[in-house]
Each structure stands twice: as structure tokens, then as C-alpha cells.
């Protein structure tokens, strides 16, 4: 199988001292062909899986209310709990997947994708809120498990010079799937009115297809990881989170992700503020997230490529400046209309495009291959936790001072956090023009 995998993955054709060889090959490759097929396969897996999961997400409220006569209110309350569990599971998934020098990434990711796939037919069999809640909790566990190993595999499959673009391609494919899912679901409901069982069954089939594509076409042992494991055997499974954070590079990046996360207002609050400040008709509200997603989809690849050129940390910071711009527009007095809404959503989408995959790429630069899954999980979980704290604080600020002052406070906080991060990350990468901070990590 490994032989076949090598044939299917060009970067795997590198000789045993592949790191240098890969570096030598890079300039001769055209930019367009430099992406490893493994990245595209992982993007395809995410695209397929997101179609499947967003199909269910889109019809779940309607299914509960129209078919089961329940109210989905309980899920809103439990969502925070599920997200917390998901974040912890992500750390576990990252840690587990690093065992075995990279071979574990595929296994843990497959278990995560498989777990979520199994939940789809289960949704058909349970008819009460507690059991549906339990099934969704398992689904979230699967999502938590697979995220870190998947990002680790992307980072290992992509050559360092194109890592930003690789993550951009992955995030764009992921978002495309998320946008398709609801469409597929509603087409099915058009063919078979009240055919929720059809929606869940098709969602299951799509999810299984995602797992099969992963199992068949993602090489079990990515070349860099295998080699790294051989070279630094002692570090392997014994690299705990504390040792990771002992590395200044990782510490600075995690610190900045947390610091910036603390001033990143959650999507729901941003849309709520937008709607209230501009007094938008309620019918617009469901369209606001679509605007952000569309901008994210269109910009993820180009901004990923820009990140490879000017440095991932630099673009990560620039992305937060886009968010700062969005906050600023929300503060403009008596401005209104569709133009402002579009501007805010485009800035919000650019923020995601410039930070989501780019942070993963930057993390990959700073974390050794044999701890890639754990490292990604640590940075991303830190960021998620910080954003959760920000939501609580923003809600409190809104209560105490009103929405305008709350946004102003968030904007000032974000400006300060960006300045501190710019200082910290500049010190970490004295020469960002070298466009390969990865070298420093080695």
C-alpha cells in the first residue's frame, strides 16, 4: 500500500533525505502543480462531509418542530456544552493521532469521520429530545476528534512554501460543501415532502463516501511524518502539551491566537449588532451568515497564496485588521444601507479567509512534525476558548454599557491585541521575507 501511495502522491516520491531534495525541487515546479494531491483529497473529504452534516443541520429544526412536534430550544442551551466537549476531544484527538509518528493521523481522523457518519441513521431511530441530544453529542465528538489530525495531514502533505495555499484550498472546499448541504436537503424535501428519513439516509451515504475517499486515497503514513519519526524517535509519543508550550515559537503563536481570540466577537453577536444598528428587516437575518461564507469561499485560496508570499503571521495579523475594519464600520454613526452590510460581511469573510487556514499553516511552521496534531489542537483550542470568553465578556459589556460602547471596547481591545501580537510575532520571525518560517521551526 505504501508503494502505491507514493505513486499517487508526488511529494512522497522524495528520496529518504527528502527534506533537502524537496527543497531543491521546489523552484522548478510551476506554482499551480505544487499542491499535493493529498491536500485535494482531504479537501474533497471535507467537502463531502460538510454536505452531509449541513444537510442535517439545515432540516433539523424543521424536523423537530414539524415532524416530531418538539421544540429545538434545548439545543441552543446545550450548544455551549457540546462546543466545550468538542474542544477537549480535539486535544485528545490531536494527542492520540501523533502516536506512531504520523500513521495515527489517518486512523484517528477516520474514526472521527466514521463516528459522525454513524450518527445520521441513528437520528432516524430516536424520537425524543434527550436521545437526539445524545446522538448530536456523539456527532460533535467525531468532529472534535478529526479536526486536529486532518489539519496535521494537510500540513504534512503540503510543502512548506505552499502551506498557506494548501489550507486555503482546503477551507474553500470545506465551505463549498457547507453551502451545498442545505440545497441538497431542500431539493430532497421537494421530491419527497416530509422525507426527513430520505434526508438522513442520503446524508449517511454522503458521509460514508467521505470516509471511503479518506481511507482509499489518503496515504496512511505521510512522508514527512514517517521520516521525522525515524529521525527524532525519542520525541515522538512523549511530547506532552507542556513540552510543546515550552517552545518559544509555539508559545508566542498560541499567546497571540488567545490574545486576538479574546477580542474576536462571535459571529452571532456581530450579525445581531449589524441587524440592530442598521435596523435590517428580519427576513435578512438568515442571509447574513451566507454573505460571510461566500466571501470566505472566494478569498480563502487567494489569501492563502498571499500568506505564502508575505508570511503567514503577517497575513494572520492583517486578517484581524479586516475584522477591526468591520468593527469600525459598525461604529460609523447613521450610516446605513445594503452597501454597508456588504462591506461588513466582506470584511468578516476576509477575516476568516486570512486567519482560519492561515493560523493552521503558521502553527504547522512552528510545531515539529511528530507533534503536529497536538500542536494544532493546542493553538486552535486556545483560540476557541478565548473566543468563548470574549462572547461572555461582550454580552456583559453590552448589558452594562449598550451595544455601541461594547463594539467600541472590542475594537480598542482588538487594536491593542494586534499591536502586541505584531511585536511578538515580529520577534519570532525576524525575516518574514524569507517566506518560509518553517525553516526556523526546524
Partner 1 sequence: MSRSARLSLLLVTVLVLGGVAVGATLHAAGRDARKEHTRAGGPAVASGAVRLDDPHRSLFRTMAWGPHRDEITAVPAGRLTGPRTASGVRCLRFHAAAGTGLCLQAVHGTLRDTYRAVILDRRLHPLRHYDLAGTPTRARVSPSGRTVAWTVFVSGDSYAGTAFSTRTSVVDTRGRHLDASLESYALTVDGRPVHAADVNVWGVTFADDTRFYATAATAGKTYLVRGDRTTRTLRALHPNVECPSLSPDGTRLAYKKRVKGADPDAPWRLYVLDLRTLRERATGEHRNVDDQAVWRDDHTLVYSLPGDFGSDLWTVPADGTGAPHRLVTAALAPVFPR
Please report, as residue ranges, which positions from 255 to 314 form the binding site for partner 1 (by CB under 8 A).
266-269, 271-273, 282-283, 285-286, 288-289, 292-293
The three grid cell numbers given for residue 158, joined into one nine-digit string? 503540503
Nearer Cβ to partner 1 (24/194) = 194
Q: Does 178 bind partner 1 (CB under 8 A)?
A: yes
Q: What is the DSSP string of 24-85?
A: HHGGGS-GGG-S-HHHHHHHHHHHHHHHHHHHHHHHHHHIIIIIS---THHHHHHHHHHHHH
Among 132, 148, 250, 353, binds partner 1 (CB under 8 A): 132
* Shortest separation between residue 50's beta carbon and partner 1, angstroms: 8
Q: Quote the least distance from Cβ 140 to partner 1, whole Å.
A: 8
In the complex, minimum distance from the CB of residue 426 to partner 1, in angstroms, rounded to a whole number: 29
In whole angstroms, give the CA distance from residue 88 to residue 111: 16
All three cell numbers of 171, joined, read 477551507
Does residue 334 touch partner 1 according to CB under 8 A?
Answer: no
Would you count residue 216 as binding partner 1 (CB under 8 A)? yes
**Residues with Cβ within 8 Å of residue 220, at least 6 apart in sequence:** 1, 2, 5, 103, 106, 107
CA 268/CA 76 separation, integer angstroms: 12
Q: Under the criterion CB under 8 A, does residue 129 sit at the interface with partner 1?
A: yes
Binding flag, residue 182, partner 1 (CB under 8 A):
yes
Site for partner 1 (CB under 8 A): how many residues? 85
Instruction: Give whole-number Cα distances, 332 to 50, 111, 211, 320, in Å.
Output: 36, 48, 47, 19
Is residue 66 close enough to count as binding partner 1 by CB under 8 A?
yes
CA gap 98, 229 in Å, rounded: 10
Region near partner 1 per CB under 8 A, out of 29-37, 38-46, 191-199, 253-261: 191-199
CB 365 within 8 A of CB 97: no
CA angle at residue 245 from 242 to 251, to 5 degrees? 160
Nearest residue to 122 (alpha-carbon basis) of 144, 138, 111: 138
Q: How far is the CB of 272 from partner 1 (least distance, A)?
A: 6
Verify binding: residue 208, partner 1, rule CB under 8 A. yes
Stretch of 4-12, 98-106, 144-152, 414-422 contacting partner 1, by CB under 8 A: 4-12
Q: At its nearest, how many Å lie between partner 1 and the CB of residue 205?
A: 4
Distance between CA atoms of 149 and 121, rounded to whole angstroms?
A: 25
Restricted to residues 397-426, the positions that interact with partner 1 (CB under 8 A) are: 398-399, 402-403, 406
Is residue 440 part of the contact set for partner 1 (CB under 8 A)? no
Can residue 24 be called a binding residue for partner 1 (CB under 8 A)? no
Q: Compute how many other C-beta atoms are within 10 angstroms of the C-beta atom of residue 144.
A: 25
Question: Quick check: 388 binds partner 1 (CB under 8 A)?
Answer: no
- Nearest approach, Cβ of residue 353 and partner 1 (Å): 13
Helix 103-125 to helix 372-401 angle (10° resolution) is: 50
Q: Which residues contact residue 118 at a Cβ distance below 8 angstroms, ignoring those fewer than 6 apart? A: 138
339 binds partner 1 (CB under 8 A): no
Q: H or E element: which one contains 142?
A: helix 129-157
CB distance 418 to 256 below 8 Å: no
145 binds partner 1 (CB under 8 A): no
**Nearest to partner 1 of 194, 231 (CB atom):** 194
Given the rule CB under 8 A, which of 19-27, 91-99, 100-108, 207-215 is the region that contacts partner 1? 207-215
Q: Min. distance of Cβ 238 from partner 1 in angstroms? A: 33
CB neighbourhood size of 219 (10 A): 27
Q: CB of 95: closest distance to partner 1 in angstroms?
A: 23
- In the set 118, 134, 298, 424, which binds partner 1 (CB under 8 A)? 134
CA distance 157 to 110: 17
Least gap, CB of 288 to partner 1 (angstroms): 7
Q: Rule CB under 8 A: is residue 74 a binding residue for partner 1? A: yes
103 binds partner 1 per the rule CB under 8 A: no
Amino acid at each position: 500500500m505504501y508503494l502505491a501511495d507514493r505513486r499517487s502522491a508526488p511529494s512522497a516520491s522524495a528520496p529518504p533525505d527528502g527534506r533537502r531534495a524537496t527543497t531543491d525541487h521546489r523552484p522548478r515546479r510551476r506554482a499551480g502543480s505544487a499542491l499535493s494531491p493529498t491536500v485535494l483529497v482531504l479537501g474533497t473529504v471535507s467537502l463531502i462531509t460538510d454536505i452531509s452534516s449541513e444537510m442535517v443541520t439545515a432540516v433539523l429544526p424543521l424536523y423537530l418542530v414539524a415532524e416530531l412536534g418538539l421544540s429545538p430550544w434545548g439545543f441552543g442551551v446545550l450548544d455551549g456544552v457540546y462546543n466545550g466537549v468538542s474542544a477537549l476531544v480535539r486535544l485528545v484527538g490531536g494527542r492520540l493521532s501523533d502516536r506512531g509518528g504520523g500513521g495515527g493521523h489517518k486512523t484517528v481522523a477516520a474514526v472521527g469521520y466514521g463516528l459522525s457518519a454513524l450518527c445520521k441513521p441513528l437520528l432516524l431511530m430516536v424520537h425524543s429530545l434527550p436521545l437526539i441530544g445524545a446522538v448530536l453529542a456523539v456527532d460533535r465528538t467525531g468532529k472534535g476528534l478529526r479536526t486536529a489530525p486532518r489539519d496535521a495531514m494537510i500540513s504534512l502533505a503540503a510543502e512548506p512554501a505552499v502551506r498557506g495555499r494548501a489550507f486555503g484550498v482546503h477551507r474553500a472546499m470545506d465551505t463549498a460543501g457547507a453551502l451545498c448541504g442545505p440545497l441538497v436537503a431542500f431539493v430532497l424535501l421537494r421530491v419527497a415532502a416530509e422525507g426527513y428519513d430520505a434526508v438522513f439516509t442520503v446524508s449517511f451515504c454522503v458521509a460514508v463516501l467521505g470516509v471511503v475517499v479518506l481511507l482509499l486515497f489518503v496515504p496512511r503514513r505521510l512522508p514527512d511524518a514517517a521520516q521525522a519519526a525515524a529521525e527524532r524517535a525519542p520525541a515522538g509519543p512523549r511530547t506532552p502539551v507542556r513540552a510543546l508550550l515550552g517552545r518559544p515559537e509555539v508559545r508566542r503563536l498560541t499567546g497571540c491566537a488567545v490574545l486576538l481570540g479574546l477580542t474576536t466577537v462571535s459571529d452571532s453577536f456581530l450579525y445581531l449588532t449589524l441587524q440592530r444598528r442598521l435596523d435590517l428587516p428580519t427576513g435578512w437575518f438568515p442571509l447574513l451568515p451566507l454573505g460571510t461564507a461566500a466571501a470566505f469561499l472566494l478569498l480563502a485560496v487567494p489569501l492563502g497564496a498571499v500568506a505564502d508570499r508575505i508570511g503567514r503571521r503577517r497575513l494572520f495579523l492583517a486578517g484581524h485588521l479586516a475584522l477591526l475594519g468591520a468593527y469600525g464600520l459598525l461604529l460609523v454613526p447613521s450610516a446605513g444601507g445594503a452597501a454597508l452590510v456588504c462591506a461588513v460581511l466582506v470584511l468578516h469573510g476576509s477575516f476568516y479567509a486570512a486567519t482560519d487556514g492561515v493560523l493552521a499553516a503558521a502553527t504547522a511552521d512552528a510545531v515539529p512534525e511528530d507533534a503536529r496534531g497536538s500542536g494544532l489542537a493546542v493553538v486552535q483550542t486556545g483560540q476557541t476558548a478565548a473566543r468563548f470568553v470574549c462572547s461572555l465578556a461582550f454580552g456583559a459589556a453590552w448589558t452594562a454599557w449598550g451595544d455601541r460602547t461594547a463594539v467600541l471596547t472590542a475594537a480598542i481591545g482588538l487594536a491593542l491585541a494586534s499591536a502586541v501580537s505584531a511585536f511578538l510575532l515580529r520577534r519570532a520571525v525576524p525575516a518574514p521575507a524569507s517566506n518560509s518560517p518553517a525553516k526556523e521551526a526546524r
